[in-house]
Structure 1
Amino acid sequence: MAQIHLLSQDTINKIAAGEVIERPMAVVKELIENAIDAKANAVTVEIQDGGKALIRITDNGSGIASEDIELAFAPHATSKIKDVSDLLEISSLGFRGEALASIASVSQLEMVTKQREELMGVRFCMDGGEKKLQEDVGCPDGTTFLVRNLFYNTPARLKFLKTSQTEAGYISGLIERMSLSHPDIAFRFINQKQTKLSTSGNGNLKDVIYHIYGRDITANLIEVAREEVFCEMQGFIGKPVVSRGNRGMMNYFINGRYIKSPVIHRAIEEAYAPYSMQHRYPFTVLHIAVEPQYIDVNVHPQKMEIRFTNEKEIYQSVFHGISEALKQRELIPEVTFQEKKDTPERQISAATKTEPFEKKRRAGLQREERVVRQAENAAGAGRRKDSPGAAYDNLKILEELTKDVEVQAGQVAESAEYHTAAALDVKKQEPAEMPGPELGVREARLHGEAEKPDDEKELREECSGPAGPDAGRRDFSMKGPVKNAKQETLFEEGILSGRAQKEVKIIGQVFSTYWILQYEDKMYLVDQHAAHEKVLYEQLMRELREKEPMTQLLKPPVILTLSMAQQQAVEENGDVFARLGYQIEPFGGREYAVNGVPAHLPSVGTQELLLEVIDSLTEDAGRTRAPEILLERAASMSCKAAVKGNSSLPAIQMHELLKQLMTLDNPYHCPHGRPTMISMTKKELEKRFKRIV
């Protein structure tokens, strides 16, 4: 019995439509590109129900001749190219001849078009790919498409669309990029009969940036212009202060086409590296003109990917163009400042570079402490963020810590010459078992605790104690130290004991950032910002679990100018912000008024921190996330309002904050994974001063 069948043309069209038209945004993209190719200088986009119910796109372009209308809806029919040789020099946005046929096959489509030289226009209707009507009508020059009931005949595809609000967000983001890529075209976007965006089309790119991103970003722009033999780059980049926590504001266009390219991404980020902190991404709007023979856009039906025949030259052009623009705007003093080894920026960038740990020790304790900081930064960068109420396995965390530090620090974990203790201990709520002897020795070496064979033997004996139902389990509620304990254990409980809270001594503060504590025979260094962050985070999450959070009203309110993506994040996560204690409401246009912030985080009511909280949720637009994850993310960002480094605190505030920190389940790490404290034993200090050998 025959099992192979020839598919019908209708089935072929619907399969092909899935490659090109996967959501309403794809319809808008294809039709706007057609309008641009038709030399339109004004384009209006109107949607309802996120584009599922209606998409109307009107342009004043050249229109379609009446005799070409039916052919225009045939598969692989196009006016952009004639043969395969034209693919080598594509100057238009569209060229595949698939868009109209694909759209018509999965919707109820109506088109009204008129050329300038014609007296009458033509109205053409299709339903599921079948022609229903063609008649002459009176209409203005240009073309109007009405796409109704998208995917009405493919319910499986309709079912997998996001909410109307999310789909509208995708479309708004697309139109913003189209406006930036073609500032000489007047774009107007209408959603649910409300105008969301309107540009003048006067060709002024800075004016378009102002309409989309607002005054603050526009006031911090740097112009970029660079010309090479094979390409030309123009546009604007933001000063380093205009950075964000995601890549949402990195825009670049190749020959007027919005694309995503890892080559250009890397060039932009590395050009900004000397000026920005890690995990901060710049603002860019770059127009890059490349000779068509050097690129290939026929990679994917969506035309979002592109190949360069000269990737290295493209990278160098973008990198040097941005670097030179940053230097010319009197940012050279900051570069010189960052090259000094004692600046905070240098310390941050050093976390990603390997220090020469394998060299012999040349300095004393100061050099050793720097090694500890580098090792901890490297370890903290790879550690996952904790969440409240979760049970942690100390063995896995220490394995990850050891692995990361070994990669970054070479042989420092195995060298007996580095005797400093880097105590990054995490209190375990439900530990499964103690690590075995082999791992115990390796981790003890990392913390400077296995310096002689005798020390290794003691640690082995402690880690391989008697077996039993409670073997390896620690009692964190004990009131005193373990009897006959000859050295520090891997899981340090002393600083959390009730006695420690009464007997710990605050010696003072160094560099207006770190507290020096003493308890028994150990010295602790506490990062006041990380510690305060952890306390605020736990307080906020505890309130969310136990009661409604209190709100601190702001008078006057803070006014934020948001992009469409940020507006979507605020509207989609309104309940998240409300549960955290924020009061945010529309203030007209793109502006939102923040009337209240969480009561115990009043300092979060600054424009910069509020935008960071919103940006942290922008990354999840359209994704399925548990409400708890969104709450934790917003709470974590809110805790950036903690007391900063280089801030001197009175002794009474230190004592109160330390008391709160020591009552937490896991006081050792801030919500972002950085350590809140490190420690050094009296024995270590005595060895540094050669009091013992």
Structure 2
Amino acid sequence: MPSRIRTLDDETINRIAAGEVIERPASAVKELVENALDADATSVSISVSEGGKRLISVRDDGIGMSREDAQKAFHRHATSKITNINDLDTLLSYGFRGEALSSIAAVSRVTLRTREHGAPEGTMVVVDAGKIVSVSTAGCPPGTEVVVEELFSNIPARRKHLKSTGVELAHCRGVVESYLLCRPGISFSFRSDGQTEVVHVAAEGMKGSLSITFGPKMSGSMLFGSAETSGVRVEVFLGRLEHNRASPSDLRLFVNDRPVHAPKLVSAVVGAYGSKLMKDRYPIGVVRVLIDGASVDVNVHPAKREVRFEDESAVIGVVKSAVETALKEPDLTYKYDLTKFAESFGPPRELPDLESIKLHQTTLRIPASEETGQEDSVIVPLAQVMNTYILAESAGSLLLIDQHAASERIVYEQILKAIETGKEISQTLLTPLVVRLTSAETRVLEENRQALEKSGFKIVPFGKDAHALRSIPTVLGVAQGESALRNILADLARMAPSKKVGLDVIWRVACHTAIRAGEPLSSGQMRTLVADLVRTESPYTCEHGRPTMVVLSTGDLEKLFKRRV
């Protein structure tokens, strides 16, 4: 009986490999840029047409290739990066499988021009749908240029499902930005349909890379932090608290200067922010992990997007430390560009270029009073606005404080501090409150009983559908006990089970205990609230990550009233 198992031919193998490695034009750009960097290039030029669907060109000034190597480069698993399996433990290059060029050439027409430094002439190799069409001598500068035309032309179904030119172009630019960030010492240029999109000069370094990727305003105010332990170093460049996104797509992660997708590292960054960041929001910025190559496995995903660490918990710990260092920046108040707001009051006009001036706002310090020995707030409340906001002055700046958010932060930290120091956080009621809960409320109560007790509630069954509320958090008044419990149970019922943790209950206790929006405050109450806020560890945000205050500096006010242009 004839064998039904057969070895596939090279053309079929290359087509299958291309489906794994080359998903869209940006995938080809990624592989070719990595080849350029592995060739010791100091300058890389990328050009695309129709978002890379019609043409991709990557040119570098690297070491170039001989005529023989130029042809071998199109063979599967032909590479100059490694020689044996032991090299995988100490990888310093981006590529190592030898699949990139063969995979790209299997689904397009590729023209390669290359010349070694010092060689009198170069080589041109043309490959169409995986087959070498011609090999000839060519005049070209030292280095290598790869031109990819009509990607997926021999796979109509794949080509049909490529996105619009704009979407594919955005993906290509994203790839270029990634290598700007992890290799800021390399010069890059990126052109689309003849128009220059990106120019980065090596001398601009990381500052220039951040400016191109995130814009000059965001990058100019980024927070830097670093941490290091045995074998692991982490550097972070993070946007200010107001610069956050609904997805982690603008939090760029790199391991040994390799762009990676690492959800656990994202979680570590978000976790380090704690209550400074709003829930379900992500910071923007860059996280660079530098680690011994023997302690990380990059041979996990066909596109080399994923990595695995030998000691993942140690890496996560260093990432958190680096983020926490960055967030020690003394001034984390929300800042807003009010130029457009000011311009809305007058006819539009061209404004002259302004010298970039970084305004350092005074840290909210609380110096000790000589008479009382107690710390006093440097914020002076002026008035209450709409029974919701406190207008205040501090060190020449005007502050608008959200009284509810400020009160939430104060109560939240009071509860946490009591838990950490072992102080009693609940008060036993002389007469327990009998509460009748619905079946739905009872179910939520039982699911979250441990967390509720940790935050100060003690409630026990008291008959068929009744419960006795014996203790409530000390920050609550007796009259608030039942309503706060019901509101917290309602909040927990709406939450996804995976998101329910002890701190969520504490957040809700703080929220339902805090001074409400619309509640009138006396001058004394405003002074007390502001003084208590300044003494918290994170006075700039409530426990949900919302800002507690907005600061208008003297410069901001001068712009608003057009005293300065």
TM-score for both structures, normalised by structure 1:
0.53
Measure the CA separation in 2 of the matches of 1:25 and 1:275.
35
Residue 348 of structure 1 and its aligned partner are, at CA, apart by: 8.8
SS at match of 2:248: coil
| CA pair 406-252 structure 1, distance change in 2 beyond 3 A | closer
Aligned to 2:534: none
Measure the CA separation in 1 of the matches of 2:184 and 2:504.
46
1:357 and 2:444 aligned: no
Measure the CA separation in 2 of the matches of 1:309 and 1:111.
39
| CA pair 364-126 structure 1, distance change in 2 beyond 3 A | same
Measure the CA separation in 1 of the matches of 2:502 and 2:215.
46
Residue 345 of structure 1 and its aligned partner are, at CA, apart by: 4.4
SS at match of 1:377: helix
Residue number among 468, 475, 488 corresponding to 1:374 in the alignment: 488
Write the deviation string for residues 430-482 of structure 1: whole angstroms up to 9, x where unpaired. xxxxxxxxxxxxxxxxxxxxxxxxxxxxxxxxxxxxxxxxxxxxxxxxxxxxx
Write the deviation string for residues 88-143 of structure 1: whole angstroms up to 9, x where unpaired. 11110110111111111111000111111201111110111111111111111111
8 Å CA contact 2:269–2:320 kept in 1: the answer is: yes
Measure the CA separation in 1 of the matches of 2:327 and 2:548.
28
Measure the CA separation in 2 of the matches of 1:280 and 1:307.
25
Structure (1/2) with the larger strand percentage: 2
Aligned to 1:487: none
SS at match of 2:457: coil
Aligned to 1:300: 301
Identity %: 32
8 Å CA contact 1:378–1:405 kept in 2: the answer is: no
| CA pair 6-512 structure 1, distance change in 2 beyond 3 A | closer
Gapped regions of structure 1 (runs ≥ 5): 383-399, 411-421, 423-509, 516-639, 647-693
Aligned to 2:287: 286
Residue 258 of structure 1 and its aligned partner are, at CA, apart by: 0.5
Measure the CA separation in 1 of the matches of 2:409 and 2:494.
17
Measure the CA separation in 1 of the matches of 2:46 and 2:27.
13
Residue 235 of structure 1 and its aligned partner are, at CA, apart by: 3.9
Aligned to 2:182: 181
Measure the CA separation in 2 of the matches of 1:309 and 1:120.
47
Aligned to 1:602: none
Aligned to 1:680: none
8 Å CA contact 2:225–2:324 kept in 1: the answer is: no
Measure the CA separation in 2 of the matches of 1:142 and 1:346.
61
Residue 404 of structure 1 and its aligned partner are, at CA, apart by: 8.7
Residue 325 of structure 1 and its aligned partner are, at CA, apart by: 2.4
TM-score for both structures, normalised by structure 2:
0.65
For 1:456-475, list aligned pairs within 5 A: none
Measure the CA separation in 2 of the matches of 1:374 and 1:136.
76
Residue 152 of structure 1 and its aligned partner are, at CA, apart by: 1.0
SS at match of 2:330: helix
Measure the CA separation in 2 of the matches of 1:281 and 1:406.
21
Aligned to 2:272: 271
| CA pair 348-106 structure 1, distance change in 2 beyond 3 A | farther
Aligned to 1:170: 171
Q: Report the residue type matching 1:361 in the other structure.
A: S
Q: Report the residue type matching 1:344 in the other structure.
A: E
Residue 167 of structure 1 and its aligned partner are, at CA, apart by: 1.3
Residue 381 of structure 1 and its aligned partner are, at CA, apart by: 4.3
8 Å CA contact 2:226–2:321 kept in 1: the answer is: no
Measure the CA separation in 2 of the matches of 1:347 and 1:14.
62
SS at match of 1:273: helix
SS at match of 2:283: coil
8 Å CA contact 1:185–1:203 kept in 2: the answer is: no
1:110 and 2:111 aligned: yes
1:24 and 2:25 aligned: yes
Measure the CA separation in 2 of the matches of 1:131 and 1:514.
78
Q: Report the residue type matching 2:157 in the other structure.
A: A
SS at match of 1:378: helix
Measure the CA separation in 1 of the matches of 2:131 and 2:39.
25
SS at match of 1:287: strand
Measure the CA separation in 2 of the matches of 1:348 and 1:260.
34
Measure the CA separation in 2 of the matches of 1:123 and 1:72.
12
8 Å CA contact 1:376–1:405 kept in 2: the answer is: no
8 Å CA contact 1:375–1:405 kept in 2: the answer is: no
Measure the CA separation in 1 of the matches of 2:502 and 2:286.
40
Write the deviation string for residues 17-61 of structure 1: whole angstroms up to 9, x where unpaired. 111112111110000000011111111111112211100111111
Measure the CA separation in 1 of the matches of 2:408 and 2:220.
27
Residue number among 393, 403, 407 corresponding to 1:343 in the alignment: 407
8 Å CA contact 2:235–2:322 kept in 1: the answer is: no
Measure the CA separation in 2 of the matches of 1:307 and 1:236.
23
Residue 241 of structure 1 and its aligned partner are, at CA, apart by: 2.3
Q: Which has the higher contact order (CA 8 A, sep 6+)?
A: 2
SS at match of 2:40: coil
Measure the CA separation in 1 of the matches of 2:503 and 2:66.
65
| CA pair 272-57 structure 1, distance change in 2 beyond 3 A | same
